[in-house]
């Protein structure tokens, strides 16, 4: 049987194959087919964010299935919308792929986008995008969200005395990635699909946390309604992202080591968790799904653990995992 590739199909053919697989958005007034979509803007404002995934620095085809890629591309953007206290409403997706790419891969990506939206942000859908050719498989997603009449929750709102809390899993994505680099590469360091499948079978939770994360998207709006003063998505590591919140707010984030679990280093410095890190006024009952990690103190952009300065090492796209801030 001959494999259909992107080069054997026209752009119109490819679109006709993936449009039926993509989810419609509840806020969609006009979907794919024209030069642009039309989406309802809720209370008259919308939150917008964008993120890219590039083969090599962001994923390995030997490790990720097409469904994983679509899921993760959606999840990382949905989490950013949630971190503003908004409800995701629509995605715009651009895919650049080598012409020899089998059409089944693009269909699988579309299925991942659909399933992630259905699981993490019901009502959010894909309203448009673009297709192009490239030597490197690249996915770019732009996400929109509805604040539902609330003020956005910013990184700059934390105040001394606030409780710092998290929702979602911390540390497992980084542990999953480390496991793949240890056990799913050949002797010369090349990622290997067969080895990756064995690792996935042995540690499904850790590998899913890295390749197809499930951030607590719905808890962003919950935190906003509960009075969160500051919030952000933990994508590059808890320590480095906490430092960003600390600098934006002009405070110090002081983590209680007793709340960081059995592997504090993985929790503090593992990346791609896509948990939500939020601050709440002292005495506020934390919403279900959030757990206290420490307290906000007077300071100037510091990250502390048990009152002692801690490095803000995490992921930087230009410096890798050894980048430290502050």
Q: Where are the domains positioned within the chain? A: 6-146, 155-168+215-325, 177-211
Q: Tell me the CATH number for domain 155-168+215-325.
A: 3.90.650.10
Residues of the chain with pLDDT under 50: 323-326
Q: Answer whether 6-146 and 155-168+215-325 agree in fold.
A: no
Stated as kind and residue range, the H or E segment containing 89 is strand 87-97
Angle ∠(146,169,325) on CA atoms, nearest 5: 85
Q: Give pLDDT tens digits for 128-166.
A: 999 999 999 999 999 999 999 999 999 999 999 999 999
CB 82 within 8 A of CB 221: yes
pLDDT the model gives residue 3: 81
CB 136 within 8 A of CB 100: no
Around Cβ 194, how many Cβ atoms within 10 Å?
Answer: 10
H-type alpha helices, 228-311:
238-249, 264-269
The whole-model pTM stands at 0.93
Binding-site residues for Mg(2+) sit at: 35, 49-51, 80, 130, 233, 236
C-alpha 26/C-alpha 125 separation (Å) is 7
Backbone angles phi, psi at 123, to 5 degrees: 100, -20
Binding-site residues for ATP sit at: 129-130, 155, 235
Q: Which residues of 256-278 are buried (b: 16+ CB within 10 A; e: fewer)?
A: eeeebeeebebbbbbbbbbbbbb
DSSP 171: S
Within 8 A by CB and 6+ apart from 32, the residues are: 15, 19, 22, 126, 127, 128, 129
Q: Give pLDDT tens digits for 69-101.
A: 999 999 999 999 999 999 999 999 999 999 999
Give residue for tokens 């793949």. 180
CATH class of 6-146: alpha beta
pLDDT the model gives residue 320: 65
Angle ∠(212,314,305) on CA atoms, nearest 5: 110
Task: Using alpha carbons, select from 101, 272, 79 the residue that is nearest to residue 180.
Answer: 272
Binding-site residues for substrate sit at: 58, 272, 315
Binding-site residues sit at: 35, 49-51, 58, 80, 129-130, 155, 233, 235-236, 272, 315
């Amino acid at each position: 049987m001959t494999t259909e590739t992107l080069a054997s199909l026209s752009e119109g053919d490819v679109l006709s194959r993936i449009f039926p697989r993509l989810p419609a958005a509840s806020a969609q007034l006009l979907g794919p087919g024209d030069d642009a979509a039309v989406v309802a803007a809720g209370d008259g404002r919308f939150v917008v964010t964008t993120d890219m995934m590039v083969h090599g620095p962001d994923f390995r085809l030997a490790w990720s299935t097409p469904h994983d890629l679509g899921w993760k591309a959606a999840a990382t953007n949905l989490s950013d919308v949630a971190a503003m206290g908004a409800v995701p409403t629509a995605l715009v997706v651009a895919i650049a792929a080598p012409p020899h790419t089998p059409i089944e891969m693009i269909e699988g990506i579309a299925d991942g986008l659909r399933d992630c939206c259905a699981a993490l942000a019901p009502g959010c859908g894909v309203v448009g995008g673009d297709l192009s050719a490239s030597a490197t498989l690249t996915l770019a997603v732009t996400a929109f969200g509805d604040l539902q009449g609330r003020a956005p929750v910013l990184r700059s709102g934390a105040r001394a005395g606030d409780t710092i809390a998290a929702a979602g899993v911390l540390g497992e994505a980084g542990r999953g990635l480390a496991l793949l680099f240890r056990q799913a590469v050949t002797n010369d360091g090349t990622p290997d699909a067969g080895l990756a499948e064995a690792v996935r079978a042995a540690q499904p939770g850790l590998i899913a946390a890295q390749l197809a994360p499930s951030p607590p998207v719905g808890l962003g709006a919950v935190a906003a309604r509960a009075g969160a003063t500051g919030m952000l998505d933990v994508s590059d590591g808890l320590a480095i992202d906490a430092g960003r919140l600390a600098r934006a707010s002009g405070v110090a984030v002081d983590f209680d080591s007793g709340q960081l679990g059995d592997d504090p280093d993985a929790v503090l410095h593992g990346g791609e968790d896509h948990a939500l890190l939020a601050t709440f006024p002292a005495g506020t009952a934390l919403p279900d799904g959030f757990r206290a990690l420490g307290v906000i103190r007077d300071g100037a952009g510091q990250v502390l653990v048990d009152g002692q300065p801690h490095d803000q090492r995490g992921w930087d796209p230009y410096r890798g995992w050894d980048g430290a801030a502050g």
